[in-house]
Amino acid sequence: MQDKLFSFKQKSTDFIVEEELPFNLSWKGDAFFVFFEKRNINTMDVVNHLCNIFNISRLTLGIAGLKDKKAIARQRICIYKSALKKLGWEKLFLQWLSEKVKIIKTDWNEKPIWMTTPIRNIFHIRLRANKHLSLKERETTSKKIDSLCKKWFPNLFGSQRFGVEWINPKQWKDILDGKLNLKEKQERLFKIQSYASKMCNEYIYSRIKKWIEILDGDIIEIIDPKNFEQRKLWVYQSQTDTVKLFDISKRNQDFFYYPSSFQKEIPFEKNTMMITAPVIWYNLLLADPSKASGIREKSFLDLQWLNPKSLNLCKEYKIFGIRRPIRVFPQKVKISHQGDDILLNFWLPSWSYASIMIEELQYAVWVQVSFDD
């Protein structure tokens, strides 16, 4: 077997990610922000450290995403002024936070961040060469990577969401049946969410197995790199090859709801409009069950965990449903060389995993990939 040309994530410095917010912090307001850098530690380990020190709920702290463990990750955490006052104000909060991470800067803002905040992540990745490359190998590799970065790749949930040996989604049923009683509500919540993520991955696989076939009634999201904060949903109309903007103000509070009211209609554009997959939580928009896409979604969901007990658990925990684009592509891509190593710089929208993109590189340029949870 041919030796692999490159290896990824031999060191934390091979994977640098920095979070970018969809708004500027204002230096005023009731939400205290800390921008920090972590190395070789999970985001939830940082959060749990503060929760244990101050004896506070996980929901007291706001974060916008989980960053990889084996990486240099720069992200933000926030807390309301009222909660911060009870903990001893900024100095004590920063003192305990700095035990786990490096503090970069602090700020204040009118609104906090949560897991649903539409951030984007900027990545700096090094692929380490396993041997000296010939000029032909360098040129061929660069062309393959450049070609891959211009294409969509599957927008799957990454392995860090599922844990070692996929333990997180496996435990949801034990939680549902009362056999697993985790002390921290947020941990129970994460296990339930991870199963929904697993279902979403399976649905995405079913839609891209051979090629992406757009179906009548598909829920569409427009991928606009210039305005990544806007995440409006549209419905595809096969007869006219158009999409209609779903009027979110008319949504009901049922566990599932369906497109029923629209604001405007525009032509379908395959290069900027992407099919979405359902992530099954509470108050989720599903495709019209009378359309081809709705029939496909219903047949898929009928085989899953959906029953009154599991649905009520999601409602009790207020786990809200979302739509996830089934494919995504990197933006602002720059490819350079340092010796025989390849340096990649790019950004991805929120809820997209660079690890999935790098796994795609395995097939393009023969990369050995090693990911820690």
Per-residue model confidence as pLDDT tens digits over 82-138:
999 999 899 999 999 999 999 999 999 999 998 778 888 999 999 888 888 888 888
Alpha helices (H) in the chain, listed in sequence order: 43-54, 81-87, 89-97, 135-149, 167-170, 172-176, 185-208, 292-301, 308-317, 354-365
Rounded to whole angstroms, what are the CA distances from 136 to 109, 132, 133, 344?
52, 12, 8, 19
**118 vs 110: CA distance, rounded Å:** 17
The pLDDT of residue 185 is above 80: no
Predicted pLDDT at 372: 45
Average pLDDT, the chain: 84
pLDDT digits (tens, 9 = 90+) for 243-284: 999 887 766 667 788 888 888 999 999 888 889 999 887 788
What tokens appear for 346 in the block?
């790019």
Structure tokens that stand for 23 in this block: 């708004």
Q: Is the pLDDT of residue 3 over 60?
A: yes
What SS3 class is residue 274? Answer: strand
Q: pLDDT at residue 199 above 60?
A: yes
Rounded Cα distance between 142 and 128, Å, is 14
User: What is the reported pLDDT for 1?
Assistant: 35
Answering whether pTM is above 0.85, one says no
Cα dihedral 316, 320, 326, 329 sign: negative
DSSP 353: -
| All domains of the chain in start order, with CATH | 6-12+120-151+329-369 (3.30.300), 23-109 (3.30.2350.20), 167-328 (3.30.2340.10)
Q: Are 13 and 134 in contact (CB under 8 A)?
A: no
Q: What are 341's strand-pairing partners? A: 338
Helix 308-317 × helix 185-208 angle, to 10°: 120
What is the per-residue pLDDT for 35? 97
Burial of 323 from C-beta contacts in 10 A (0-12 / 13-18 / 19+): buried
pLDDT digits (tens, 9 = 90+) for 69-90: 888 999 999 999 999 999 989 9
Q: Tens digit of pLDDT for each residue in 7-64?
A: 887 678 889 999 999 899 989 999 999 999 999 898 989 998 999 999 998 889 999 8
CB 148 within 8 A of CB 361: yes
- Rg, C-alpha atoms of the chain: 22
